[in-house]
Chains A and B, each alone.
Chain A
Amino acid sequence: MASNGETRIAVDSEPDLIVARQKGRALAAEIGFDSTDQTLIATAISELSRNIRLYAKRGEIVLCAIAETGRRGIALEARDEGPGIADVTRALEPGFSTSGGLGLGLPGVRRLADEFEVVSNAGTGTRVSIKKWLVHRPWLESGVAGSALPGQRESGDAHVVWCQPEAAVVAVVDGLGHGSEATRVAALAVATIDAAAPAAPATMVQLCHDRLRTTRGVVMSMAAFHRASSTMTWVGVGNVAGVLLRGGHHASPSEEHLLLRGGVVGAVLPNLYVATLPVAPGDTLVFATDGVRLELPSDLARRASPQQIANQLLALGGRGTDDALVVAVRFWGGAA
């Protein structure tokens, strides 16, 4: 098992409880745990450090990011040199408490842990160790939903979700007009982006522009995610709408909109407005062609998977007057 260094927090006074749980939450977030797991881990640290204060007066909390083949997680240990727990089995029963507490401390902590161990000896103190593993998921999760204009067999909308361990490129392209020529031009743009990824978005738009000069052209919006720096860079030419839905409960603003520049890639390329935004685990990018209204019930973004978001937007917002395509991508991040 590999470990990337320990964080030790002395638990000596009451404010140390807050420091310990805040550091635990920060480490859990860094590892990639979602906000509920971060809160569970912070709560466990709060319980364990309070036990230290109650029974041993002082001790320490040790936090550590852990990794094994194929998975990673957090290890935390509460150590003290207090009187020890006389009856460990009883201390783990819900409702048992010798300090007048609710007796939910240790049993609750055990409930949330994937691995749990208590070593306690009268006179030498107590060590409570827990591990919680991060349920594996890709660092970028995507969903796509689309439909061709009624009466047309092929859609003039196309997309790219190019994802590698360090970077990803997401693009939605709408070939001007309808039918097979629109489909062909959109496919040409997609192939150009695929071949160039993971170049800078402005570079990829320029490459598409050069490649499509003899065609009727496309409109497109594109985003590049960079995993290590947790950033997203996006750019849009024409009317493929883009919105970044913040996943955090307290995020403000709760969404950011892509600033679109009028123009046609392959015909009239405007000055590109490229913006780079920090992204947090749970943030979701949605691109939709102009056949779709990009109006999302506010709580859908957090609860639904990217595929569900794409499906729902297509179902709710399809205007039926154009080809329609929605791509939703959720950033989870975490170390590669």
Chain B
Amino acid sequence: MVPILKHSQYLIATVQAALSDSDLLELRDRLVAQVGQYRARGVILDVTALDVMDSFAVRTLRTLAQVTRLRGAETVIVGIAPEVAMSMVELGMTLDGVSTALDLEEGLAMLGQSLPSPLAGSRSRGK
């Protein structure tokens, strides 16, 4: 089972090995549920360890991004390996409408830009 960490207002899930179709669906559903449970504003899914991105995986990630967005959280997919990205392009698979970033750090930065952090907000009010 893919572990999900809660980090401030974000959920971070890191894929550890190749996932079966039902593993992917289970992960999608758990992330959608936890967005509500923890009132998360962003989800980062690190797929560095995913061996292939086939049509099922692409469809599942698109659904995840759309559903979490409807629940008020932005999803960023990070860590698509270069050879996986290359094969997605060759096979004509796109993650249209899904945010992507190079790695976890970039993903957090991306979410940080789209969401004003509560800490920064209180500082600016204090001036």
Contact = CB atoms under 8 A, between A and B. Distances in A.
Given A43-B52, A101-B55, A104-B55, A18 B92 contact: no
A101 B21 contact: no
Among the interface residues B18, B51, B52, B91, which one has the most CB atoms of the partner chain A within 10 A?
A: B52
A55 to B, nearest CB: 14
A108 B83 contact: no
Contact of B90 (A15, A112, A249): A112
Contacts of A39: 51-52, 81, 83-84, 86-87
Nearest to B23: A14
B106 to A, nearest CB: 16
Interface string B78-101: 000111101100111100000000
Contacts of A46: 52, 54, 56
Contacts of B84: 39
A102 B21 contact: no
Interface string A110-127: 011000000000000000
Contacts, number: 75
A249 B18 contact: no
DSSP class of A's interface residues: helix, strand, loop or mixed? helix
Contacts of A47: 54-55
Given A25-B51, A36-B86, A39-B84, A50 B91 contact: no
B20 A18 contact: yes
Contact of B56 (A42, A101, A112): A101
A106 to B, nearest CB: 10
Interface residues of A, number: 29
Interface string B2-42: 00000000000000001011100000000000000000000
B58 to A, nearest CB: 7
A249 B82 contact: yes
B102 interface: no
Contact of A112 (B20, B22, B82, B91): B91
Interface in A7-28: 14-15, 17-18, 21-22, 25
A102 B55 CA distance: 6
A166 B66 CA distance: 54
A239 interface: no
Contacts of B18: 18, 21-22
B53 to A, nearest CB: 7
Nearest to B49: A250
Contacts of A250: 81
- Interface range on chain B: under 10, 10 to 19, 20 to 34, or 35 or more? 20 to 34
Interface in A61-98: 94
A15 B90 CA distance: 25
Contacts of A269: none
B81 A43 contact: no
Contacts of A14: 20-22
A236 interface: no
B83 A36 contact: yes
Contacts of A40: 87, 90-91
A158 to B, nearest CB: 37
Contacts of A94: 92
Given A15-B20, A18-B20, A36-B87, A102 B52 contact: no
A39 B91 CA distance: 11
Interface of A: 14-15, 17-18, 21-22, 25, 35-36, 38-40, 42-43, 46-47, 50, 94, 101-105, 107-108, 111-112, 249-250
22 contacts: A17-B20, A18-B18, A21-B52, A22-B18, A25-B51, A39-B52, A40-B90, A42-B52, A43-B52, A43-B53, A43-B54, A46-B52, A47-B55, A50-B21, A50-B56, A101-B55, A102-B55, A102-B58, A108-B55, A108-B91, A112-B90, A249-B81
Interface of B: 18, 20-22, 51-56, 58-59, 81-84, 86-87, 90-93
